[in-house]
């Protein structure tokens, strides 16, 4: 049985950067990768500017809802890509991490 890789994108509010990155990878991988996103302090809704930007590249994220990043989600991931969540992102030995220095468009 083949293992489907799991990638978790994490930013503070899970309302912009991580949602957009997850949608892009999901689209580009043709669902060959299990893509997830979460936030250390999730917002109530995805940023309308992120929704609009994704519509411009024909990817619909209107149904997405910001999720809290829990330790189980991090442990389940083969790769965790953080985007500005700093020390609030848990680190588990054996999990691969990358930090993308992307400014929060919401400020």
Residues known to be catalytic: 11, 85, 89
SS3 state of residue 46: coil
Rounded to whole angstroms, how far apart are CA atoms 77 and 60? 24
Q: How far is CA 24 from CA 2, 37, 75, 103, in A?
A: 23, 12, 22, 18
Compute the radius of gyration of the chain from its Cα atoms.
13
């Amino acid at each position: 049985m083949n293992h489907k890789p799991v990638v978790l994108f994490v930013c503070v509010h899970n309302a912009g950067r991580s949602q957009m990155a997850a949608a892009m990878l999901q689209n580009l991988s043709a669902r060959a990768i299990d893509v997830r996103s979460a936030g250390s302090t999730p917002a109530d809704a995805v940023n309308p500017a992120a929704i609009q930007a994704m519509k411009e590249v024909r990817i619909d994220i209107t149904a997405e809802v910001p999720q809290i990043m829990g330790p189980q989600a991090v442990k389940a991931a083969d790769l965790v890509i953080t985007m500005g969540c700093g020390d609030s992102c848990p680190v588990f030995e054996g999990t691969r991490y990358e930090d993308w220095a992307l400014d929060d468009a919401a400020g």
